[in-house]
Amino acid sequence: MAVREVRIYPDPILKQVCTPAEVGGAETTAIITDLVDTMVDAGHSVGMAAPQIGILKRVAVVDVSHSKLGKKHNHGLLTMVNPEIIEASGSKVMREGCMSVPDYTGNVERAREITVQFSDADGSERVVRCKGFEAVAIQHELDHLDGLLFLDRVSNPKADIFRRKG
């Protein structure tokens, strides 16, 4: 479909909670295509959520397979419609960035392992167990669906938010 403009914080759409998407519907298929096209076009992105392109539907895509952090443990391209984390365990702090917050990164504590349930692009129900960077990336994208940015998860803004270099 198309590479879409990424919404940048403080765009108010990024702080809104998304509504469920129609599983297998043409609109949802188009959203998935635009998310994948926009993520791939960015060249460095490992995930995108619908609000980042101005759509308040519960749709996100994640693919960490091309990142050095996600090479070992990944499920390839995950197209997630109405995703929900049904299990989480462990804890890890990682530096996160976001296309919607281009000037900053931050240290965020997330679950080390998760189980996520969703419908895929074909409308099939899936349950996937993820760990490491892939688990972190999914949690980051699912936060977008609830109107949260990584900035909302930083425990100490003075010590854990960093201006990007360059």
Catalytic residues: 141
**Contact status, residue 100 vs residue 109, Cβ threshold 8 Å:** no
Strand-strand pairing, 161-163 and 101-110? antiparallel
How many Cα atoms within 13 Å fall on the side-chain side of residue 144?
A: 35
Nearest CA to 79 out of 59, 96, 64 is that of: 59
CA pair distance 35, 79, nearest whole angstrom: 9
